[in-house]
Amino acid sequence: MPANQIAIALSKGRIFEQTLPLLKAAGIVPRDDPESSRKLIIATSRPEVRLIIVRASDVPTYVQYGAADLGIAGLDVLLEHNGAGLYRPIDLDIARCRMMVAVPNGFDYEAAVRRGARLRVATKYIQTAREHFAAKGMHVDLIKLYGSMELAPLTGLSDAIVDLVSSGNTLKANNLKAVEEIFAISSRLIVNRAALKLRHAQVQPMLDAFAAAVVKG
Ligand code: ATP
Ligand code: MG
């Protein structure tokens, strides 16, 4: 990558959509829409800035290794990714939701906790779930899934799930209820530490523009 090029890693879908106004505030308008074009590298109105479209959970990896200078990723993803080399400066306050424990409607979670039941919990967020239940002093068997966590209790794979919830409609549609909030989630702007130092003159104004746009928004 030429020394003056800046790459921003982000995922398509809700994060891309909700990042557009923030990019615009930094004078960055994408030349293509990743939903319709199949391009994975998208040029922008600023010739030195390009967007790299990756899976949400791959964003920290690109930034950690410096393949992208900046990235936008959910706190859920960042907490599962235990990589060094990331600077996490700005809560963008987008893609907001909550990390929750959910169980079938008829299941008395509180009673299960009180009697020290050993629960099976299916989740994409193994690290987060492990820490949460350990802090509660609960013994759980964690089952790693990559999507559609709601199916697990319905099919007998698990007693509970740990998943992201926003409206709660998906839980409701599948006869599940949220019983515990683990934390509030939003997306963060992350920066490669070396890029922040070595390309400070380029990166810092971008961070400032994002920060200003969030405060104003
Ligand atoms: P994929 O859907 O391709 O398997 P993903 O689920 O990681 O990947 P998205 O569904 O686009 O990708 O989610 C990206 C990020 O958006 C998540 O990491 C999370 O921070 C946030 N997010 C996920 N679900 C919601 C939701 N229902 N409401 C608001 N934000 C959400
Ligand atoms: Mg998803």
CB contact at 8 A, 103 and 42: no
The answer to whether residue 85 scores a pLDDT higher than 90 is no
pLDDT tens per residue across span 33-62: 999 999 999 999 999 999 999 999 999 999
* 27 Cβ inside 6 Å of ligand 1: no
CA distance 61 to 119: 32
CA distance 14 to 12: 7
Q: What is the 3-state secondary structure (H, E, C) of 196-212?
A: HHHCHHHHHHHHHHHHH
Question: In whole angstroms, what separates CA 2 from the centre of its chain?
Answer: 29
pLDDT tens per residue across span 2-34: 568 999 999 999 999 999 999 999 999 999 999
CA distances from 22 to 10, 50, 60, 85 (A): 13, 15, 19, 24
Give the mutation target among 15, 77, 92 for probing the ligand 1 site: most ligand atoms within 8 A of CB.
15
Whole-number percent of the chain with pLDDT over 90: 93
Collapse the DSSP code of 155 into the 3-class scheme (helix H, G, I; strand E, B; otherwise coil) and give the result: helix
The answer to whether residue 71 scores a pLDDT higher than 90 is yes
- What atom of ligand 1 comes closest to residue 12's alpha carbon? 11
pLDDT tens per residue across span 155-180: 999 999 999 999 999 999 999 999 99
Give the mutation target among 164, 167, 169 for probing the ligand 1 site: most ligand atoms within 8 A of CB.
164
Q: pLDDT grade, residue 84 (50/70/90)?
A: confident
pLDDT averaged over every residue in the chain: 95
Please give the angle made by the CA atoms of 210, 213 and 217, to the nearest 5 degrees.
Answer: 140
Q: pLDDT grade, residue 83 (50/70/90)?
A: confident
Which ligand has the nearest atom to the CA of 57? Answer: 1
